[in-house]
Amino acid sequence: MAAPISEPQHSRGPVSSGRPVAGRGPARVAAAAVITMITVLGTAGMTQAAAAGQDAAHARHFSQTLTVSNTGDSGTGSLRAAIATADAAAGAATDITFSVSGTITLSSALPAITADVTIDGTSAPGYTSGSPPVVEIDCDGSAGLDFAAGATGAQLLGAAVDGASGNGVTLSADSITLNDDYIGLDTSGAADGNGGAGVLAAAGTASEKIGLNSSGDSGVIANVISGNKGPGLELSGSAMDTVVANRIGTNAAGTAAIPNGGAGIWITHGSAGSEIGGTEFTDAKTGQVNNPTGSKGTVTPVFVIPPLGNLISGNSGDGVRIDTGSADNTLNGNFIGTTADGDAAVPNQGNGVYINGANGNALVGCKLVNNPFVYYNVVSGNKLNGLLVTSAHGTKVQGNFFGAGADNTSDVGNGLNGIKVNGSSTGTVVGGVIPLGNVSAFNRLNGIDVAGKTSYFITFNTFGGLLAFKGAAPNRDDGLRVTATGGHIVARTNVFSGNTRAGIEVAGHAHGVTIDPNIVGLTTNGMTAMPNGGDGVLLHGWAHHDTIGGSRVSVIPQNTFSGNHGFGLAITGHAHGNSVFKTFVGTNVFGTTALANGKGGVFLGGHAHGNSIGDTHRAPVNLISGNAGPGVWLTSGTSRNRVLDNFIGVSRIRKPMPNSGRPVVNRGHHNTVRGNKSRRSRRSS
């Protein structure tokens, strides 16, 4: 056993220097004697589980080991004395172990830790790996633990830290590890919040390790950081940190909220290059591999909670907030706003993830070589948006669920939009080639909302209003809504089906929007109806100079707007200058079978003017057939629109496929209707 520790006399006020205050001679002599003792402790005599819990500490070589033998605030054998002794041994790596468990109630702040010190609560009697801490540091209104300059490489293992006046734990040196800790909870798991952040990684620090999961087992709980008055974890000007396998804002079971007062994780003041979660997707204990879509619906799905991901739920603010120039941070494998299994809500009261004025950040759930969603972020159940991106540039969002449960079945909708991008955001990429798309479903407003002056936005391979390779999961408004005025907005190779209102809505003064190619109102194979409750695609307000159609190479051969309860395409209000070509309306994706839109094919109403349905000098331009109602309907307020060179009422192979109404109804003014083919040898006018 290590020798008991006798401490120098100290002030009852806060210790700011990290050095003990000089006192009586015998205490100084005893402390000096302890410093000269070097004790090497093995794991003999400990339970196997306790030994496993100390892997992080005992994988290292220590110059000295000091033992805390009582739970007193101060004096021989106290934690305070151990820290003072360790600090005094400059350059030595010190392991502070415990021969006692229980609560250490402080009457003043502990000395700042200024050396490479491991405080190892996992060594205390009664501790078993994976269980709550049995050592509690109750700050009782004093300042929390401070790993100050000089503490590079220090560790806090298996301790509960609560009741501090400010931050529970402050990290002001690099490469500090926190693992198996409760921050803001006592050892019973009850809230006893710290007055500031649970954990603060201060400016200028790097490579902090907030949580470990060396086993690779799914369900490992590294730390529980909950009940604090400020954010759970604040990275403030820190860089290259890892945050792994924590529960932030919930109880240890991950079934109920114990809110932090701010965000669960706040990444701010230029924090850069950190990874929240990780990319593992195999449960090392069982060998199961996460495959939530069953290889795109071809085999039985397998559900594995990503082993390195965090549960970030139940917080009073956002789940994760990234702001003030914090760049190049990545979220992988996290469940944000849900229970630990990802299938029910434990809402964050703000957004799931809020990126504001911070560039190059990413939410990534798979790589190009993986099956879809293998280490997905599940950002669902939050009170506001799943993801809100405001005036940020270069945000990447690939392979995630927004509003659906981790089981690709449960309704865990966000309270507003699945994804919202606004402000002056540019270069936001939502999805990519298969398997990099996202699911945005079951949300209380839109699957995706693109607003403000957003520009250079793309949604690519989004399941908007349906589950991944499965059935309908309606967003209660639209699949995609665009009101942004920045231009260069592209929706390509998406399926927007099953929504309560429109599949795609372009409104306000939106311009420079391209919709090509997408399936709207059908299943992912384009062969069966999955209706949107309103129109398939709706352009209204003053939407102008938007393009519906194109020649992009895709697994979807062309736009197909079919099976919707309203019109396949409606252009109303004051929408003007919009072009529609290479689009099928009312058929399957091959144009061979009717899948009727319920009110008609294409509708131009209100004061819509100057729009072109066809007219690319290449006939036929659009296929508008098989609808319940007119093929094209222009109402009395419309003017100067053109309906030219389309197939109306025939299939792609020119067999009859009539609309139930007339091919074209034109009641407007100065509209041009010509060159449309309703049979191989007949034209409608």
DSSP string, 30-56: HHHHHHH------STTS-HHHHHHTHH
Cα distance between residue 619 and residue 606, in whole Å = 28
Cα distance between residue 519 and residue 493, in whole Å = 8
Where are any strands of DSSP class E within 589-671?
Answer: 600-604, 612-614, 623-624, 632-634, 642-644, 647-648, 664-666
Cα distance between residue 288 and residue 269, in whole Å = 39
**What stretches in the chain show pLDDT beneath 70?**
1-59, 616-620, 679-685
What is the per-residue pLDDT for 51? Answer: 39
Q: Tokens at residue 394, please?
A: 């270069």
289: nearest Cα among 387, 375, 349: 375
Residue 340 contacts residue 365 (beta carbons within 8 Å): no
What is the per-residue pLDDT for 69? Answer: 98
Residue 309 contacts residue 277 (beta carbons within 8 Å): yes
Per-position b or e across 472-501, b if 16+ CB within 10 A of its CB? bbbbbbbbbbbbbbbbbbbbbbbbbbbbbb
What is the per-residue pLDDT for 584? Answer: 98
| Parallel/antiparallel/unpaired status of strands 682-684 and 676-679 | antiparallel
Instruction: Identify residue 503 by its one-letter amino acid code.
Output: G
Residue 326 contacts residue 358 (beta carbons within 8 Å): yes
Q: Tokens at residue 658, please?
A: 């009539």
469: nearest Cα among 439, 431, 501: 439
Q: CA 146, 148, 149 angle in degrees (round to 5)?
A: 175
What is the per-residue pLDDT for 31? Answer: 34
What is the per-residue pLDDT for 7? Answer: 36
Residue 223 contacts residue 211 (beta carbons within 8 Å): yes
Q: Tokens at residue 24, please?
A: 């009586």
What is the per-residue pLDDT for 78? Answer: 98
365: nearest Cα among 419, 430, 428, 298: 430
What is the per-residue pLDDT for 620? Answer: 66
Cα distance between residue 542 and residue 563, in whole Å = 26
Cα distance between residue 8 and residue 459, in whole Å = 64
Cα distance between residue 200 and residue 202, in whole Å = 6
Cα distance between residue 677 and residue 294, in whole Å = 44
What pTM value is reported for the model? 0.92
